[in-house]
Amino acid sequence: MKTRNLSAGLAAVLGICAAAAALAQEPAYPSRRITYLVLAPAAGPNDLLGRLMAERLTRSMGQPVVVENRPGGTGVSASEGVARQTPDGHTILQAGPSHVLNQSMVLRLAYDPIADFDPVGQLVSTPFVLALTPSVQARDVREFIEFARARPGKLNYASAGVASPHHLAAEMFKSMTGTDIVHVPYKGAQQILQALAAREVDLTFISISQVRPLFASGKLRGLAVTTATRSPLAKDLPSLAEAGPLPGYEMDVWIGCVVAARTPRPIVQRLNRDMNSALEDPAISAKLSAAGLVPKPSSPEAFLELLKAERARWGKLIRDLNVKPQ
């Protein structure tokens, strides 16, 4: 009996020693520079968010966290590169809705936007807003719906391309209101703003951070935000859901971070903890709010559920609109 107990105890001690030895062999994290990919050009809200996160992580991690801007191509090339990285937490991808939309829009996508990544957490959301040029004679959402219905095919709206959040927000609005508004795609927010200024288009659905100064100057008129309820970033604007009224209308554009699948759980948890701490810092929160971004600290599990829900929701809308992958 004593021999059996002694053997069991010795086995337990050996197991602990083996685990400790294995842990000791694991390289410290981070062991080198961390690359933080932002799928947007330098300057702008996405870039600001990435640089604030990188600055905070550099301090908390003890290694440089360097932002690399990878705009263009809806992030497919950069995302594929991250999916193929060694899963060690040294490459972080800051992603938005296109991360899951690409699965419905890109033929032969070389990666799965959920299975090939581990979610770290959501960082922020940014409301879109229905913005009109002064030439559109409508002061509220109901007036605009009546105005558009009386002019089928006469109004046009700008987007950042097929299946972009701008495009899907507008098409969902058209579907729910029975309006016929022509889609004019551009390559990004800056070109959309230029088109609005030149009166090439009549309206757009766009991040409030991009157009808030134009509301103050009278160059554009904001009618409503696309979030389910009013946004703290535009307290004077109703939601489309209440102003239409369009029950169920919601477009809340999110930004979060993912890493390559099979990244060790402690690394994911540490990144999540440090990013949430940054988002809860009043100084950082104030800078984000000024840029039209609402901090949304979350868990990896909650972000995973958001990714799954967004893929299903927008994938269905893309199919319903008969938008063909390219």
Instruction: Map out the domains of the chain as residue ranges.
Output: 34-125+253-320, 127-243
Mean pLDDT throughout 45-56?
95
- Alpha-carbon distance of 323 to 251, in angstroms, equals 18
Residue carrying structure tokens 């090339």: 77
Percentage of residues in the chain having pLDDT higher than 90:
63
Between CA 235 and CA 38, with CA 237 as vertex, the angle to 5 degrees is: 75
Residue pLDDT, tens place only, 275-310:
999 999 999 999 999 888 999 999 999 999 999 999
Residues 6 or more apart in contact with residue 60 via CB below 8 angstroms: 274, 277
Q: Is the separation of the CB atoms in 214 and 82 below 8 Å?
A: no
Question: Which pLDDT does position 108 carry in this prediction?
Answer: 86
Across-strand partners of 183? 157
Our CA dihedral for 65, 210, 244, 229, rounded to 10 degrees, sits at 40
pLDDT digits (tens, 9 = 90+) for 132-149: 999 998 999 999 999 999
pLDDT > 70: percent of the chain? 91
Shared fold status for 34-125+253-320 and 127-243: yes
Q: Which of 9-13, 102-106, 276-280, 309-313 has the lowest mean pLDDT?
A: 9-13
pLDDT at 83: 97
Q: Which whole-number Å values give the CA distances from 52 to 291, 308, 320, in the listed order?
A: 12, 27, 38
DSSP lists the bridge partners of residue 91 as 35
Q: Please report the pLDDT score of residue 309 as a whole number.
A: 94
- C-alpha span between 320 and 326 (Å, rounded): 16
Question: For residue 164, which phi and psi values (nearest 5 degrees)?
Answer: -75, 160
The CATH class for the domain spanning 34-125+253-320 reads: alpha beta
CB proximity list for 21: less than 8 A, separation 6 or greater: none
Q: HSE on the CB side for 306, CA within 13 Å?
A: 28
Confidence of residue 326 (pLDDT cuts 50, 70, 90): low
Residue 17: how many CB atoms within 10 A of its CB? 10
Residue 121: pLDDT band with limits 50, 70, 90: very high
Out of 159-163, 200-204, 256-260, which region has the weakest mean confidence (pLDDT)?
159-163
Q: What are the C-alpha distances in Å from 247 to residues 236, 239, 242, 244, 273?
A: 20, 10, 7, 8, 36
Task: Report residue 298 as tokens.
Answer: 């979350």
At residue 54, the pLDDT reads: 98
**The pLDDT value given to residue 71:** 83
The confidence score (pLDDT) of residue 162 equals: 79
Span 127-243: which CATH code?
A: 3.40.190.10
Confidence of residue 26 (pLDDT cuts 50, 70, 90): low
Maximal C-alpha separation, the chain:
93
Model pTM score: 0.82
In the Cβ-directed half-sphere of 71, how many Cα atoms lie within 13 Å?
11
